[in-house]
Amino acid sequence: MQVRYQTALQPDNFFMTSGLVLRRADVYIKMCVLARVFFHNNHFFVMNQIKVAVVGASGYTGQELLRILFNHKGVELVCATSRQYAGQPLWEVFPRFRQVPGASLEFTDSDVKAIAETGAEVAFLALPHGVAASYARGLVDAGVRVIDLSADFRLNDAAVYEEYYENPHPDVALMEEAVYGLPEWRAEEIEKARIVASPGCYPTSILLPLIPLFKAGILEPNDVVVCSGSGVSGAGRKASIPLLFCECNESFHAYGVPKHRHLSEIEQELSWAAGEPVVISFTPHLIPTNTGICTTIAAKVKPGVDANGIGTILEKAYANAPFVRLLGRNKPADTKNVTRTNCVDIGWAYDSRTNRVILMSAEDNIVKGAGGQAVQSFNVMFGFDQTEGLWVL
C-alpha cells in the first residue's frame, strides 16, 4: 500500500536543535508548525496533499464532498466546477463555508483539458448519469484518476446498462475497467484503479448487510425482498414540482416500481458475492426527510442453517470496517443516528415461522451513500487511513 507521508525531521536532529534552546526544565518552547505534523514509528512526518478536482460541485452531493474535503488533511482542492455558478467563490454559493480555508476558490465551467491543467491528481465526478462518461475518458487518458459518483461505470455488462438506462454505454472499455467502489469489499482493487465507480445510495444500504451472508452461502439466491425509504435529497438539487415541500411533507409513497435502476448493480454485486445469479425484489420509497435511507430486507435462509450464526458472520466480515456499526440481534437501525456521518448501522433478526433473516440498515444517502463513500475510496487509492476526513459526527 502507498503511504502518503514524508519524513520531515529525525528525532535526533529534533532534540539536538531543541537542546540549543532548552536551558532549564521549566523553559516553555513555542514551536510554530507550518505543516501538519504527527509522530509515528519514532519519526516526525508531514502529510502529502493530493490535488483534487470536484466536477459538478454545486449539487447536494457536491456540497457534501466539499464539506468533507475541507476537513481532509491530505487534500488540496484545486478545481470545483459548476456551469450555473462559474466565477463565484464556493463560500458565496454555500455560505456555510465562509472563512473556511480554501473556500475562496471560484467555481469554473471547465472542460476536461482545463481540469487536467489545474494539476489535479484525482477528480470526483458528481454529475448526472450520462454526463459523467463524457468527462471520464479524457481525464483518465490525461493521467487523472477518477472517482465517479454517477451510475455510468457501476455495471460490468453493456447489455444490462442499456436495459436499465435505455441508451447504449458510451465507453464500454472504460466501464469494464472500472472498479465497483465498495471499500469494505473491494479495497485492493480500489487502491490500484484508474477509475472507481462509487456505489449508489440504495445499493450501499442493501449490499453491506447481504454480501457477507451470500458469501457464506446461507441464503437462497432467488428469495430476497427489499423495501427502502430515502430522503428527498436523493432526487438531487433541482427545481421539480414533485419535490416541493408541500408535495413531500406528510407524504410517504413507493416509486420506481417494479424495476428501479439501482436494481441492476445490486443484483450484479450480490451475484458476485454468491457465486451464482441472485434475483431480488426491490421497492424504493420517498420519505419526508432531507437525508437518510432506511432499508429492511427479508431473505430466505437455506435449509439446515443455524440462524444463531448470522450475527457471527456479520461480526467477522466487519471486524475491521470502521464505518459499519453492527447493532446486534433484534435491534432496528434508525436514520437519526447516521445522518451527516459516513456510518451505516445494521441490525438483524430471524423469523423462525418463515425461515427468513430480517436485515435492517440505515445510512445517510449523500454521505455514506455518495460523497463520504467516494472519499473513503479516495483514501484507499492514495494510501490514507480510510477514516481520514470522515469522522464528522
Q: Report, as residue numbers or ranges, the catalytic residues.
A: 201
223: helix, strand or coil: strand
User: Residues 69, 375, 126, 87: what is their CA dihedral angle, to the nearest 10 degrees?
Assistant: 20
Distance CA 27, CA 18 (A): 11
- The DSSP symbol for 186 reads H
The closest alpha carbon to 379, from 68, 167, 28, 120, belongs to 68
Tell me the pairing of strands 145-148 and 195-197.
parallel
Joined grid coordinates for residue 43: 519519526
Distance CA 112, CA 171 (A): 16
**Is there a contact between 97 and 147 (Cβ–Cβ < 8 Å)?**
no
Neighbouring CB atoms inside 10 A of 239's CB total 6
User: In Å, what is the CA distance from 1 to each residue of 82, 188, 244?
Assistant: 34, 9, 47
Distance CA 325, CA 295 (A): 15
User: In Å, what is the CA distance from 245 to each residue of 177, 217, 230?
Assistant: 41, 44, 15
Q: How many helices (H) and strands (E) does the chain have?
A: 13, 16
- The DSSP symbol for 367 reads I
51: helix, strand or coil: strand
Distance CA 291, CA 354 (A): 33
Distance CA 6, CA 134 (A): 36
Phi, psi of 379 (to 5 degrees): -60, -40
The closest alpha carbon to 60, from 365, 286, 388, belongs to 365
335: helix, strand or coil: helix
